[in-house]
Amino acid sequence: MIKGGVFYFAVIALLLSIGIVFALSDISVISDSPINNYYTNIAQKEFKCNATSLNPLINATFYLWDSSNVASSQSINLNDANSSSLSFSHTFSTEGTYDWNCVFTDNESTMKSASSNYSIIYDITNPSLSVTSPTNGSYYNSLELGLALNEQGACNYSIGNLNNIMSGDATFTASVGTLENGINNVSFTCTDLAGNANSSQKVYFFIDTTSPTVSLMSPYPADATSSSASESFKYNATDNIGIRNCKLMINNTESSVDNDISTGENSFSKSMPPGVYSWHVRCTDLAGNLVNSGSRSFTITAPSSSNPNDDDEDTSESSSDSGTPRRSNQTSGITGNTVSNQEINNTSSNTLNFLRLNQNLSAINKYLLSINQNVQFSIIRENSTENHTLTLTNLTGNYTEFVLRSDPINIKLYTGEEFKTNLSSSEFYDFYLKLESINNSKAELTVKEIMEPINRNAINKTLIYALIATVCIIAIIVLVFIKVKKGSKTKKNK
């Protein structure tokens, strides 16, 4: 730098940073090497630039600066050459990002630089690796490698004789092919953009592709009559490396989890309300291998309800003049006995027996039906018994169709939809049906007796609205007819 030329070089740096040409001329300047945004971990670096000009070139100056000051300024006399290719050398002492450019001057004092500044990054720090998968001492049935790097770079891994490049630039992954069961190890090596390298320590892990063994043990839950039955679900699970957990699956839904599996007999205990159940046990070992046991079925039937005060007092409610059914201390509800899942599937007569509901109308009965199977039930009132049949007539992947008899009622339900009607009363809904799910060409139903008042006001409003709409439509038709008649008479008079 020329003595006292601080202001001069400040102006030069500003003009270089925004790529302004000092004067209109035919000087062409190109920065040859290194390329723009170049990373290096080598302290001494050579910079090349060249220029061509219609006028003789008398001087060239190389500038290198960082964000705070000029790191290098080197000038060379060119002896009136019309073209020149020059090299400048600089030795870095501090890591960081630097910009550089060359300025050429011709014999008319015209100055010009390359159209844009080039950057060079001097980096001598090794990258930092963080292995995210596998973890030391862990078990896997298949392996997905994971690695994080604190900067951009490239990584590879080594497992036995495998040595492959990983995909990514700062976060790396790789799917490993088939590995032998047993102990394996992997190591990683990464290089950043400047050429600095770093390696991880070996990570040891286990590969296991053998599924555990699980079997159900007797005594199994059996059919019972109870409002709440305490059942024990026993099983035996073994594995060559260990069981992570076992789950009790009831009707294909997770019901309980056991994370402490002992050798030999294990069990789940649950209180089961009335219903039809299928159960099995699902176990997963430490490597993630999963297995399901065989399945078994059982049915819990709600007990028949009765009023212990039959001989002591009359607990009946008087019926109204409008025909509200009386609830006496006689047994009432949808009555009968359930059958198990297996019996439902194999019922040759396509007829299912039925459940007796509680006196308080709270019992819920679930059935699995195939097409043309039905549920027969009776609604018992004080002085009468009404027999009815609900038949599944059509089943698709989305909806079902039923016929409810004795007086046929056609019902179409999509999954999750409900239906209720009044079979024995003009004032109360007493029958409820819901389609829970459709699986394996079977419809899972909820059937129960209800005692829900019918909202006559809503029905009457609907009838009134329908009547008004009908009157309006008739009035419009009459007006149109009169207008047409008048029009035809006018034409005849003309």
State pLDDT tens for residues 338-363.
Answer: 333 333 333 333 333 333 333 333 45
| Burial letters 167-182, b for 16+ CB under 10 A, else e | ebeeebebebeebeee
State pLDDT tens for residues 364-381.
Answer: 577 788 888 888 777 766
**Residue 117 contacts residue 13 (beta carbons within 8 Å):** no
* Closest listed residue to residue 392, CA positions, set 416, 417, 367: 367
pLDDT at 75 over 90: yes
> pTM for this one?
0.52
Phi and psi dihedrals of 377, rounded to 5? -150, 160
State pLDDT tens for residues 428-447.
Answer: 788 888 998 888 788 888 88
pLDDT at 411 over 50: yes
DSSP 8-state symbol, 372: T
**Residue 456: pLDDT band with limits 50, 70, 90:** low
State pLDDT tens for residues 206-237.
Answer: 999 999 999 999 999 999 999 999 999 999 99
CA torsion sign, 472 to 478 to 480 to 486?
negative
10 - beta bridge partners? Answer: none
Rounded Cα gap, residues 78 and 212, in angstroms: 83
CA torsion sign, 380 to 382 to 385 to 386?
negative
* Closest listed residue to residue 428, CA positions, set 454, 450, 449: 454
